[in-house]
Structure 1
Amino acid sequence: MTAPAALAGFDEVEAYHDAWWDEIVAQAQAPAEVDIYDKDWRFLSTVDDAISGDFTDLYNDAGEGKLAQLAANPVAQWISENVTEAEDLHVRVTQSHTEWAGKAQTIEESMDSDGFESMNISFLHDLQHAKKIYCYPNPFFLLQVQWPKIYPYFGPSVTGVKTLLHLNLLRRYQPFWRLPADIFSKTAWAQDFEAANWPHIVNPRGTGLFNDTSMHCIIATRMGNFYDVVKAILEDAGLQLTATRWLPGDEQPFPEYATITMPTLIWDVVDKGGVRGKTGTLLDGFMPFVRSILGDNIQETKTPVPYEEPQEYSEDKWGTVKEVPAVVWYAAQRYTTATGTGQSGIVKWRKTQHKAIASAILTGGKSPGWVNTGVKLIANAILGYIGMIFLNPGLALGIFDEQIEDVILAFARADLTNLRDEMGRDAYGEYWESSGQNGFSPSTLAAFRTGQMAVQPYTSFQVEVVNGQPYWYGMHAVMGDRVSMELGMSGVLYTDQIRTARLTFGPNDPVGWTLAVGKDDDDTSPTARLARVLQAVSTIAQQIAVQS
């Protein structure tokens, strides 16, 4: 008996969708490909039989990677015999729609008591390069002539961060250049710069006063480390700093600006701060800044918005409302209805309240130059007048000049009155923010904003999910994307960003992804926490040396 045409058509559609889904699953679970490159990012070989791999991608920080191989592996043998101490070694790991590229930090060869020989290589993500760039006060002049003393910027955050990075790459890779009217114009890239030949370049798209709708910021630095200067700005404005490795054969990233031919690291700043404003214009970027620093220029006023689940999420289809992410992980206990799959993907979750650590911010240490000069002029004038009375018109400060320097407007204080009222009458007192150059300058306001972020209370959510239940990392969501998850039985959806993505693989283990949603700095490993503390101490020491 022949099946009806309608039934046969249904079977064909079902078979098509089954094949389509099988292809998606195969792509998402495809084995990771590990490629090794030499010091100039020239391809050496693919590692086909790694013992294990563990590569972590972090939001706005350099993740670590570990690769273990048998010592008898041809790639391991080549590395052992040909790579000298000073030569760099690079890796690029691709899996499904994701990519991880970085530089080797240590290469360890060992043999255990059973005679098993192996090679273990540790890598750091290419984002580590951001911590190796220092920002000249005046990138247009030689290092020996740095005036004015501070690099100033006020405007949209994306443009500000990209400009700061581009100028300090420019003075590094193309000295003796002239400044065009618009450093991100297509004409400048074609005629004034040779950016296509640089090892590192900045994506010029999305910049400019009228194209950039990100939150406004203030940048004021004197030979500061680029990563340290922009880290607080990125967090404040909801931006993601990305470093993507381009290799010959890849698609040209911005052909209207430049044609790249050599292996290149492409820097970009992506606005992950949520949804574009109502108008989509310059005012959208400025309004959050006014809301944040209006009044005392430091404190924020946050108005809670009651959550109402959009109709799209109540129906049997994925949500499409921009204000609420489409990727939603529901609690396993609730997502087992007739319309659900029963695969929530949530392995474990944790909600942590971090209390405020201070209610006032202090910064500074030096007076502005014009203040010191003015004070000394006034003091010398007074002494000269007194000297005339006593027939000694040459009376002046002389060697006592330093006694009146850095006395007036050398320090500044910001009272977070709203926060203190919420904390209670026994609130913690003051917090010292070391990034302020002096007590009265653009850097002071930037230091207050940095300090306000450091002391404010916040609630963090960390959720570990299984990739593919039901969403795939790299396909439905990528690093920094806002996703929602249901914690517990409350039915409330909490929204936060993907901040950690960890890829693990081995010959006997399938490819596995572990995603962490939400920020929780206090729960990092002791080693990582110590490294960040040491980096902070080094930064403070450098700032003291520069300002002294």
Structure 2
Amino acid sequence: MSHLLDGVDTGLVTAPLEFTRWMNDQFKRVIAEKEKPDPSDPMSQFRYVKGRRDIIEASARQRPMLRLFDKNMKPIAQIAGERTASVEEMWSDSGQANVVLRYENWLTDFILHQTKIHEDLHLVVDPNPTAPTWRTRWGGKITGINAKRDSSGIHTLELEAISNRQHAKNLLFAANPIFPPEVQLPKMWVLPGNTRTILSASMFINLARLFFPLLSIPTNIFNPFSWINGGITGLDPLSWPLQVAFVNPLLDQSRLSVIGSAWTDWHSAMDDMLKDAGCGFRAYTWLEEDEDSPHTELVDIARGTVAEEFVDQATRPHRNCIIFAVEDKSGVTGPTGTAVDGVINLIGATLDDMITETLINLDENQDGETDPLFRKLFGVAPEKPKTVWYDGQFSGIIESERRQHKGPVKTIMTGSRSPAIVNQAQTFAIRYALSQLAQTIAFYGQAQGTEGLDNLYQGQLDNTLLAWMRFTDPTRALWAGDMAWQEHFEKGGGTAYTLSGVVTLRVGHYKTRAWQGFTVKVVNGRPHAIDVDVGLGDRAGFEQHGIIFTDQITAIKRTWSRQDPVTVSLAIGDDNDKEDPAARGLRALQAVWTTLSHFLGEGTIF
């Protein structure tokens, strides 16, 4: 019968009797599979566009494909018959997944009894089962297995998983990745450059410290049990279980920065850098069934040449693995299109953080965020989002919230210690006066005990002069009212009337300000489709009361059950207090100074 259907556009291919492929691979790609629409025929183009849109919307309603993988990321089975499931991917932290199965599921015995407790199991979720790809795939490690019996007598098996991004919290940036921990010189890993380039390079060399035998054995000379990690296959970086996506340093337009770390976990070391640059850290799950290489920027070098297909095939990983990638979703392009834009971006952003935020406070669109001034002049201002959810009767916005946090404090205070020069001048004056008194007494005749009289003072009056400082904001004093919060003490460096004290006052002033945050949840495909029109980390906007608020997509969550269809929701922005722009600017200046001092030998690098 299947031979009779050959050549007929049935939507299915002839399925041979084999058990080595997933059933979802048997479907054809129905969009423009055989021909493109006729440009001279409007109806042909309309049918093509409408059919494409219908396919995209229908694919979004499919139930995601759940698969179980073993400790070495080898497939075990496809999970079916789940009672409830939820999968969430987050931009700046590790997402989670939860799957509940009936206890009668045939995988229960394998999961509970045939797998030892210290053996890892992995969960892989493809949101679009008919077009699985590493770009949209969710992968994570199963961290909890709960066998339950509820009050109604139903037995279930619950799987709890955390996304592969959690690896960033369990990997370290070594102070010197080519020497063993027992011999660390220099004392700190310092690398300046554009954010994506330096982080990718740092991750690669630290993974080589773990998996590359010529490096992992010398760096673990006193830890021989780690030599079995990977074995001889570690000589091939494309065979590592954890890999880093290639970044073209010449075209990396992410903001210039500096990484400095001494055995700090990746997440902690990268967090502030990524937020300042508008970048994000992703952990993709790449499988051998995927059609293209995850090293897209390496393929782009040969794009449009005869070597494109060869490069794509040559850079494919040689096993199922996790690909770490640093992505720039800041919306900043720049005037040159090269790595020079990262330097211009840093200069413009620092000027905006130090001057525009503190002196000008420009906010033309009334969204509560200071508009970039210097970055716009330099051509590195973030572009307007391409995806906006407008408010209306048939809007795709499920719920949106704009929260104002009121109650500013009028006066900020800090201190506890006097500047060193004040204490030194005070000590000099008192001891000089005592020494002069001793000389005056000796002029009229030597008296017992007058010699060394100046040693009586041992700093008893230190930290009594100019040890505290305070600042009252006149705007808050005028507008907050008579019943406003009066005072706030900000702990910082502890020294008043110094640059550190001024910065501490600024931090306290910013923390006690009135501010607003916003969050929004939207439904998939109305009108924008997740993972097609917009993805995790992309800049997007939503309208509320005539004002468009713009931020990055911080989370994408999918939930479904036996009774309910797949619901996809995403969060734009968050309700957390933003970091002080002045602190961001000072951190940028500090990074430059730290780099110079380290290379000059004045820091902790030597």
Return the TM-score normalized by structure 1. 0.67
1:345 paired with 2:396, answer: yes
Q: Partner of 1:217 in structure 2?
A: 257
For 2:188 and 2:509, locate their aligned partners in 1 and report how far apart those are by CA, in whole Å: 23
Give yes or no for contact 2:560–2:566 (8 Å, CA) kept in 1: yes
The residue type paired with residue 320 of structure 2 is: P
Give the one of 276, 280, 284 matched to 2:333.
276
Q: Once the two structures are superposed, what CA deviation does each residue of 1:471-529 show, in whole Å capped at 9, x if it has no partner?
A: 111111000001111112xx222211110111001122111111111122479xxxxxx
Indicate the SS of the match to 1:510.
coil
The residue type paired with residue 41 of structure 1 is: M
1:202 paired with 2:259, answer: no
Q: Partner of 1:74 in structure 2?
A: 106
Most deviating of 50-59 and 162-171: 162-171
1:228 paired with 2:268, answer: yes
1:476 paired with 2:533, answer: yes
Q: Partner of 1:172 in structure 2?
A: 210
Cα 1:71–1:142 shift into 2, 3 Å: same
Q: Partner of 2:280 in structure 1?
A: 240
Report 1:481-500 matches (<5 A): 481-488=538-545, 491-500=546-555
Indicate the SS of the match to 1:127.
helix
For 1:360 and 1:221, locate their aligned partners in 2 and report how far apart those are by CA, in whole Å: 33
Post-superposition offset of 1:39: 0.8
Q: Partner of 1:380 in structure 2?
A: none
For 1:513 and 1:298, locate their aligned partners in 2 and report how far apart those are by CA, in whole Å: 41
For 2:116 and 2:562, locate their aligned partners in 1 and report how far apart those are by CA, in whole Å: 29
Question: In terms of Rg, which structure is larger?
Answer: 2
Q: Partner of 1:252 in structure 2?
A: 293
Gaps of 5+ in 1: 1-8, 179-191, 309-320, 334-342, 363-414, 434-439, 524-545
Give the one of 511, 514, 531 matched to 2:566.
511
Post-superposition offset of 1:11: 6.8
1:62 paired with 2:120, answer: no
For 2:351 and 2:385, locate their aligned partners in 1 and report how far apart those are by CA, in whole Å: 30
Give yes or no for contact 1:292–1:298 (8 Å, CA) kept in 2: no
1:304 paired with 2:362, answer: yes
Q: Once the two structures are superposed, what CA deviation does each residue of 1:314-362 show, in whole Å capped at 9, x if it has no partner?
A: xxxxxxx9822221111115xxxxxxxxx31112111234689998999
- Percent identity over paired residues: 27
Cα 1:295–1:266 shift into 2, 3 Å: closer
For 2:258 and 2:53, locate their aligned partners in 1 and report how far apart those are by CA, in whole Å: 48
CA RMSD for the aligned pairs? 4.0
Report 1:13-412 matches (<5 A): 17-96=49-128, 98-177=136-215, 194-206=236-248, 208=249, 210-250=250-290, 251-254=292-295, 256=311, 258-293=315-350, 304=362, 306-307=364-365, 323-333=383-393, 343-353=394-404
Q: Partner of 2:585 in structure 1?
A: none
For 1:360 and 1:199, locate their aligned partners in 2 and report how far apart those are by CA, in whole Å: 52
Post-superposition offset of 1:233: 0.6
Cα 1:346–1:69 shift into 2, 3 Å: same
Return the TM-score normalized by structure 2. 0.61
For 2:413 and 2:348, locate their aligned partners in 1 and report how far apart those are by CA, in whole Å: 20
For 1:480 and 1:73, locate their aligned partners in 2 and report how far apart those are by CA, in whole Å: 36
For 2:508 and 2:60, locate their aligned partners in 1 and report how far apart those are by CA, in whole Å: 41
Cα 1:305–1:454 shift into 2, 3 Å: closer
Cα 1:156–1:21 shift into 2, 3 Å: closer
Cα 1:108–1:295 shift into 2, 3 Å: closer
The residue type paired with residue 264 of structure 1 is: C
For 1:328 and 1:360, locate their aligned partners in 2 and report how far apart those are by CA, in whole Å: 43
The residue type paired with residue 507 of structure 1 is: R
